[in-house]
Amino acid sequence: MANPESETFLGIEGGGSHLVALHVDGAGCFLARHASGPANLRLLSDPDLRERLETVRYQFPNPSAVGIAFAGLRTASDARRVRAAAEALWPERPLWIGNDLECALAADGTAEKNRARVLVLAGTGSCCFGQEGSGCTAKVGGWGHWLGDRGSAYHLVHRALREACFEPLDRFGTWGICGQRILRALQLNEPDALISWIQSAGKSEIAALAPEVLAAASTGDRLARAVLKSCALELARDALACAARLGRARKPIEFVLAGGLLQNAPMYAAAVRHAIRTKRSPGKTQFVYLKRETTWGAVEKIRALTVTSSGGATSPTGSAPSLSSSHTRRPTVFIPTSAGLAPTEQRNPRSITLDQLPIESAIDLMVSEEAGVAAAVQTQRAGIAKLVRHGVRSFRNGGRLFYIGAGTSGRLGVLDASECPPTFRTPPEMIQGIIAGGQHALWSAVEGAEDDPDAGAAAVQFRGIGGKDVVVGIAASGRTPFVWGALEEARRRGAKTALVCCHPQLEFARGHRPDVVIALPTGPEVLTGSTRLKAGTATKLVLNLVTTLAMVRLGKVVSNLMVDLNPSNIKLRDRAARIVQEITGRDPAIILETLEQQRWGVSAAIRVLREQSK
């Protein structure tokens, strides 16, 4: 081996959710990390395997030694596949090849000869792996989501969909909090849409919904809580079986809890611990969590190998609607009338010769038309202010804001809603977008979706919209049936309602006018009927005003600085540090240290630094 001071080690672990690589120096100190997509060996062809490892090699071309672990690596043949790919990329380097279970159990680097441990691993998939100090091992589970993965995130979600969502819908006509959260997370409008989604969804996509099930269990969904306890019990039984196979059913043993589901969901981990304790003597049972991510195990394995060979060294939630059947009877929808064509459908006399204009002249024309958007929005200042106040009141009472639209209008609503969590660190359920036709309609037209008022009402129903919420219908013409079905159902459920449109001449049926009407006088489009132009620009401006000013009123802005942004990348972390410095005037090094301590919570860091300055 090279000089220990100059050597470096590379640890790689591929799992059901992602592949992670860690680069460390000769003393085991962290140098760099790289992550990419799913990499379960069972699901990778040889070219796929090489491509995954080539991505890592590009980042770390010259380590002194490489340790590689994969979920799904079970046989000698599997190990040979990985070794062949690794030797081609890192020739003449010492290699350790193993599976993710060995890797995880080695991650803390503190293995002892006289200690028996059982790794209880629950993430996208699950498995229990036991090891005696003597080297005896036992494995329970790990058969994949079709045959095993008991107590995994996939198992939890799959059971929740059946037992907390569709069984009560079939038997009692109810759709609870768990179902509402799952529909919101997938940008789907009603339960029927989950049929086609789950038929094409992969294991990781399904498992990714586990936080929604856990949140439902923690906020009052009795059936979701029952599913959680049942899954935890199954995982605990596997852990106990693994201990028994090591001959440790009644002897001291340490259970090592690992994987995203156990490490990031305290409620679930507590249920697993409780289920294990009820079957074992407390004095002979210990629980520990891995303090480092499991990829460190690959690092520790290859370090040990090279040393030996060298002879040295909240959210707001909705109420559960009660359904009499899967085809609930809807009240009549009163769509407003209009004496003539909507302004956006009328021809613009200035652009009659659009197809003949030179490009430069067409640009001048379109820009001049867009220049009037701000003035059009300004005419609706009072209505926008009223909608902001409704939103603030709703948020303070634990309610939510929903945008509902079709086509361009729906996409604008989804866009504004999706930008609030990174900008203001709001929970994703706080501001939601619903588009006619569901997720597919975000990038492709869904035929007839906007003409179905019952679908709009169903979307409202299955998101659990109620009296604390605000529902904003977005429709350039002001007359989209999907939107009006949603508004009528929302009003019936006690929610505040608003309409954002570009049709000032609408006439509403008595008793069916929304609480707020924002009718933007943008006039005819340059391209007749193309509401992605002026109408879209004006609508986006209104939605920006509503959410931005509501967040200002909620205290998420100091001066004109975002003090609740989510610094999820380098650019945003730089911005977060500048914001804290602007407000506190403290030294940059102290600011970075405080932000790290507060997990990059900008408001929390400002609070701590102000306290220190007193």
Q: Give the pLDDT band of residue 449 (cuts 50, 70, 90).
A: confident
pLDDT at residue 480 in the model = 95
Q: Are 190 and 266 in contact (CB under 8 A)?
A: no
Task: Please give the sequence-ordered ranges of beta strands (E in DSSP) within 438-594, or none if there are none.
Answer: 470-474, 496-501, 516-519, 557-558, 561-562
Residue 568 has pLDDT above 70, yes or no: yes
Question: Over the chain, what is the mean pLDDT?
Answer: 89
pLDDT digits (tens, 9 = 90+) for 367-383: 999 999 999 999 999 99
| pLDDT confidence of residue 326 | 38
pLDDT tops 70 at residue 165: yes
pLDDT tens figures, 45-95: 889 999 999 999 999 999 999 999 998 887 777 888 899 999 999 998 999
CA distance 533 to 536: 5
Handedness of CA 152, 155, 157, 159 (dihedral sign): negative
- Specify the range with the lowest mean pLDDT, choosing from 166-170, 330-334, 341-345: 330-334
Q: Report the pLDDT value the prediction gives residue 384, as an integer from 0 to 100.
A: 98
> Residue 308 above 60 pLDDT?
no
Residue at 216: amino acid letter: A
- In the chain, the percentage of residues whose pLDDT exceeds 90 is 66
Please state, for a pLDDT cut of 70, what percent of the chain lies above it: 94
pLDDT of residue 290: 82
For 254-279, how does the pLDDT look when each residue is reduced to its tens digit (9 = 90+)?
999 988 899 899 999 999 999 999 99
Active site residues: 419, 450
Q: In a 10 Å sphere around its CB, with 0-12 CB exposed, 13-18 middle and 19+ buried, how is residue 447 labelled?
A: exposed
In this model, does residue 457 exceed pLDDT 60? yes
Residue 410 has a pLDDT of 96
> Backbone phi, then psi, for 285, in 5-degree steps?
-130, 125
pLDDT band at 493 (very low <50, low <70, confident <90, very high): very high
Confidence class of residue 284 from pLDDT cuts 50, 70 and 90? Answer: confident
Mean pLDDT of 122-129: 91
CATH number belonging to the domain at 561-613, selected among 1.10.8.1080, 1.25.40.10, 3.40.50.12710, 3.30.310.50: 1.10.8.1080
- Can you say whether the dihedral through the CA atoms of 556, 559, 561, 563 is positive or negative? negative
Give the phi and the psi of residue 80 in degrees, each rounded to 5: -65, -40
pLDDT digits (tens, 9 = 90+) for 210-239: 999 999 999 989 999 999 999 999 999 999
Beta strand residue intervals within 49-179, DSSP E: 65-70, 95-99, 117-122, 126-131, 137-141
* 3-state per-residue secondary structure call for 80-97: HHHHHHHHHHCCCCCEEE
Give the tokens for residue 106. Answer: 């080695």
The better pLDDT of the pair 72, 335 is held by: 335
Q: How confident is the model at residue 12 (pLDDT cuts 50, 70, 90)?
A: very high
Structure tokens at 368: 């001049």
pLDDT at 529 over 60: yes
Split at pLDDT 50, 70, 90, the class of 331 is low
DSSP 149: -
Residue that has been written with the tokens 């430069």 in this structure: 360
Domains 8-107+297-310 and 113-291 share a fold: yes
> How many other CB atoms are found less than 10 A from the CB of residue 394?
21
Which pLDDT value is given to residue 394?
97
Domain at 8-107+297-310: CATH architecture: 2-Layer Sandwich (3.30)
* pLDDT value for 532: 93
pLDDT: is 421 or 249 the higher one?
421
- For the chain, the domains span 8-107+297-310, 113-291, 356-553, 561-613
User: In the chain, what's the furthest Cα-to-Cα distance?
Assistant: 92
pLDDT of residue 181: 96
User: Which residues partner with 106 through β-bridges?
Assistant: none
CATH superfamily ID and name for 113-291:
ATPase, nucleotide binding domain (3.30.420.40)
Judged against a pLDDT cut of 90, whether residue 502 lies above it is answered with yes
CATH architecture of the domain with residue range 356-553: 3-Layer(aba) Sandwich (3.40)
